[in-house]
Structure 1
């Protein structure tokens, strides 16, 4: 008969912590196991904090700004120089057109067209070459050197007359002596039927006047864009208003 104190084989064994300290008498128990709270910190948004900006960054920024300013000035100077060179090329083109016009009219005079058209061609050359230099090329040169609004206005006024003359000469309508005093397209077609050589000379003059007109239109467009971008347009208006007021007074 089994003993009533026998061990139950299905009973769970008591778990023993091997790391537990059974010698409670040697180590005193802690009175309070909780940590002490941290002291409160003041709330701030760092409005009073100073930020040190190095002076080297300011110097480098100013140096970069000056460098860019110098680059813009160099580009502006190159633009002025290019426009001035092309304008001088149109002046030389005008000289070439008027000189070739004399040659073409001389051939027509030799073939029996009369001396009057040759005299007119000579007058065009004598009046046009110094007139173009004094009336529009020199004011443009002075305007680029001094940035004078009046010089720009003077150039625009007479350079438009120059373009109008070149376009008129390229067409050469029969207004003055049937238009044969200018080597344009209309007299070229007219004289080609009578003399082929004279017609070829007139056609060459027509091509030169057309080329001069196209380049001159490009020049006045570029100069006007520079004039408008530099702010000289408002200055010219103010000077014109002052001149009108003085004339009225």
Structure 2
């Protein structure tokens, strides 16, 4: 075997390199600026920052079917799809339906609570245990309240707003009569010929304030409380006359004791300040008349939906008359007297 005199590898096979460190696999991993190592790092040497590492391009994948839409990743700027418009509308409709059912449940709970309070009152002795609370008079007053009124407890939930509105209407009518009295007093002070109107204004405030409460507000209250057809008919008959009176008050015929539009225009030629006061009262009367007509139509529509009728009102009236102890006693006495006269007759 010939000896290698060039300092190569004596054990190398033919065709191999004499120096194993000249192998390309070793040369590509030698330290270079792209692959800095600790051995070649010099902190006092300024070098350009190494370029970013670029991974090798992936091999092309074989053609396949497109992935499903759910597995596709969205880009940061691409908006997310939260569902179609129809699905959002159906979700909003379902939410509104749930809210409606919740409100219905709340109303039923209030109704059950009201009925429970009524049963508790009945268990304590019925109406006899209820202390009258209207009109709200102080305890030292010699006159005590005459009626028991509790709209939230005695009136069903769907009719409470209507009954409360009628109560406020009655209060406004009483206030209007008081202002009418003051306006007539001012008119009498500037014109002595208006004494008749001033006297009638005192009569109207003393007569209409309690009579309106007893004659049309209380029947309306009891009609909604017990679904009474008879009380509905009483209310419609009397409140229609009250609406006519509201219109007459707004018109203000001179000498009738009402500070309406005509009376205010008549006084305008005498005193402007008193005329302005009377015009305000006339405007107040006009608003009350309009509200009274609107509430009469609303209550009539509610009455038609309750299933009340004239025959039912007749039955309630007959039952109420015959259940009255005074009426039964009078009828028994009349029958006994008639029978005694019949036996005495020859």
Shift of 1:235: 4.0
Q: Which 4+ runs in 1 deviate beyond 3 A?
A: 234-243
2:183–2:259 Cα contact (<8 Å) kept: yes
Question: How does 1:139-178 map onto structure 2 within 5 Å?
Answer: 139-174=219-254, 177=255
Shift of 1:115: 2.6
RMSD between aligned residues: 2.8
Corresponding residue of 1:77 = 156
Question: How does 1:191-202 map onto structure 2 within 5 Å?
Answer: 191-202=267-278
Unaligned runs of 5+ in 2: 1-100, 112-154, 320-346
Unaligned runs of 5+ in 1: 1-63, 244-249
2:229–2:316 Cα contact (<8 Å) kept: no
Q: In structure 1, what is the Cα distance between the partners aligned to 2:317 and 2:226?
A: 21
Q: In structure 2, what is the Cα distance between the partners aligned to 1:193 and 1:219?
A: 36
What secondary structure, in the 3-state scheme, does the structure 1 residue paired with 2:187 have? Answer: helix
Corresponding residue of 2:264 = 188
What secondary structure, in the 3-state scheme, does the structure 2 residue paired with 1:115 have? Answer: helix
Aligned length in residues: 173
Question: How does 1:1-249 map onto structure 2 within 5 Å?
Answer: 77-113=156-192, 114-174=194-254, 177=255, 179=256, 181-236=257-312, 239=315
For residues 81-110 of structure 1, give each alpha carbon's deviation from its aligned partner in whole angstroms, at most 9, with x where no partner exists: 001000001100110110000010010011
**TM-score using structure 1 length:** 0.63
Corresponding residue of 1:48 = none
